[in-house]
Structure 1
Amino acid sequence: MQSKAEARVQSKAEPKARRARGSLNQQVIAEAAMKVCDRDGIEALTFERIGRELGAHPTAIYRHFRDKDELLLALTDELHADATSDGLPTTDDWAEDLRFIARRIHAAFLAHPHVGQLVAARTARRRHEFAVVEYILGCMRRAGLPDPEAARCYRVFADFVLAYASMDAALLALDAPKREADLRSWEVDYRSLPHDQYPNLAALIDHIPSLDRPENFELAVDLMITSIGTRVPTAGS
């Protein structure tokens, strides 16, 4: 069976057949760019590599994207497209709807970790991102928050989800030895610290979850939603 390294060498040595003229568009290029990043890492995000993936000359990509940063914004929206691919249900439970979109964003970032680690702070200003913003704002209003508070809670909740998803993506994007060293440090380095200097660590180390535990994100989302709920005005307030 051909190894991944051999496949990469082969893909470099054997460019695909040239595409038909006029067959490229932003969506096709973005999908190819995501595939290159998933397979070869973010350092492979060059127009030359994408052109090779598509069987197109790199200059053809410049007809659709001015530069790599504009392409990165398109990839940001591709993550939002993944998060919304099965639709965004609106139910009677605003909190569960927030959990739904948080889980979908998190899953999209982990599915494409090399891109996900980079884009939390970027604004794609494209249609799938617009849909996510509209959905979260709707959840906040259905919670009963006054509009100014709904807008503020949207900003904090959305930024929190993106930041946490990007952090988890960054861990997953590490090469295996580095990731394992970081995870192992909590079982080795932290446990070997002097108890008299770090009494709280010594008392709680057995209970601190691993960095890569999915339950960490779930708890963080629950804490955020609980906090949002406390800001909903009560009758007579």
Structure 2
Amino acid sequence: MKARVAQQAEQSTSKRRAALTRESILEAALRVCAPEGGGQLTFSRLGKELGADPTAVYRHFRDKDELVLALTELTVAEGVELARATLPDGPSGDWRGWLTVTAESIRASYLARPVVAVLAAARTTASPAETSSFEQLISVLHRAGLPVLEAAECCRQLVDLTLALTQYSAAFSALDPATQAKDEAAWAVKYAMLPESEYPLLHESTPRLTELFRDDTEVFRMILATFLDGVALRIERTRQG
């Protein structure tokens, strides 16, 4: 009887291994990387999610870095598709609107999986979604009036700004609630208690700074708008010769 149970268990394990594919591993990894997935990507957690031995993952990915790059490709592709769904007709001459939608879509796709944002926001995949997105962004800025190289520089700045702020938000979301509350209290209490005679400007602005601490999305949009204002000035100067 015991032998039969052991044999059945072994057959079940073999079936799971046979069913394990690159796609099923990536789907499981995306679940693990979601906010409700535990906030940590390890092969051990991945094996548990898959119901398989963690070493089985190595049949499809050489190491964790290869897995992270594959997750990055999926996240970038999702951000590109989200931008296209938001503006299905493309830029349509509105360079500012298109850059805003692209940046917000990239941010949304990464923040849906904070673990990926922390691990992968600084990585480059040269995947079709990534390269086509860069090509289109440069094209939009070039048609708006910037020389190609200057358009490429602005494109790089936009992507770096977006990913840096997204990575920051993701890293903070990974902190335990007590640590997050401590940081908020620093603004709401410690800064508010600074003597007005010595820190008059901070005293006046601390309530607003406390509001912004709670809302990374608003801060991101403010910074993005300021950046795009600068791009608009560069375009205008180029047009004026």
- Name the TM-score, length of structure 1 as normaliser: 0.82
Contact 2:83–2:105 (Cα < 8 Å) also in 1? no
The code of the aligned residue for 1:211 comes to F
The structure-2 alpha-carbon separation of the partners of 1:235 and 1:111, relative to structure 1 and needing over 3 Å to count, comes to: closer
Q: 173-182 vs 161-170, which deviates more?
A: 173-182
State the match for 2:67 in structure 1.
71
The code of the aligned residue for 2:27 comes to E
Q: CA deviation at 1:235?
A: 3.9
The code of the aligned residue for 1:57 comes to D
Q: Tell me, yes or no, if structure 1 residue 168 matches structure 2 residue 169.
A: yes
**Structure 2 unpaired stretches of 5+:** 1-11
* Structure 2 Cα separation of the partners of residues 149 and 31 of structure 1: 38
* Structure 2 Cα separation of the partners of residues 48 and 109 of structure 1: 23
- Name the TM-score, length of structure 2 as normaliser: 0.81
Contact 1:183–1:210 (Cα < 8 Å) also in 2? no
Q: Tell me, yes or no, if structure 1 residue 219 matches structure 2 residue 211.
A: no
State the match for 2:212 in structure 1.
210
Q: 162-171 vs 207-216, which deviates more?
A: 207-216
* Structure 2 Cα separation of the partners of residues 61 and 170 of structure 1: 26
Contact 1:80–1:132 (Cα < 8 Å) also in 2? no
Root mean square deviation of aligned Cα: 2.1
Residues paired across the two proteins, number: 219
The code of the aligned residue for 1:96 comes to G
Q: 46-55 vs 83-92, which deviates more?
A: 83-92
| Mapping 1:13-52, distance limit 5 Å | 18=13, 19-38=15-34, 39-42=37-40, 45-52=41-48
**Structure 1 unpaired stretches of 5+:** 1-16
* Structure 1 Cα separation of the partners of residues 221 and 62 of structure 2: 39
| Mapping 1:115-194, distance limit 5 Å | 115-194=116-195
State the match for 2:198 in structure 1.
197
Q: CA deviation at 1:117?
A: 2.4
Q: Deviations over 1:122-174 (max 9, x none)?
A: 11332332333233223222322101101111111110011111111222222
The structure-2 alpha-carbon separation of the partners of 1:138 and 1:29, relative to structure 1 and needing over 3 Å to count, comes to: farther
Aligned to 1:192, what secondary structure does the other structure show? coil
* Structure 2 Cα separation of the partners of residues 180 and 79 of structure 1: 30
Q: Tell me, yes or no, if structure 1 residue 54 matches structure 2 residue 57.
A: no
Q: 144-153 vs 210-219, which deviates more?
A: 210-219
The code of the aligned residue for 1:118 comes to L
Aligned to 1:186, what secondary structure does the other structure show? helix
The structure-2 alpha-carbon separation of the partners of 1:112 and 1:177, relative to structure 1 and needing over 3 Å to count, comes to: same
Aligned to 1:117, what secondary structure does the other structure show? helix
State the match for 1:82 in structure 2.
78
Q: CA deviation at 1:22?
A: 4.7
The code of the aligned residue for 2:134 comes to V
Q: CA deviation at 1:87?
A: 5.3
Contact 1:168–1:212 (Cα < 8 Å) also in 2? no
* Structure 1 Cα separation of the partners of residues 27 and 160 of structure 2: 25
Q: Deviations over 1:45-85 (max 9, x none)?
A: 22232122223332321122111111111222232132123
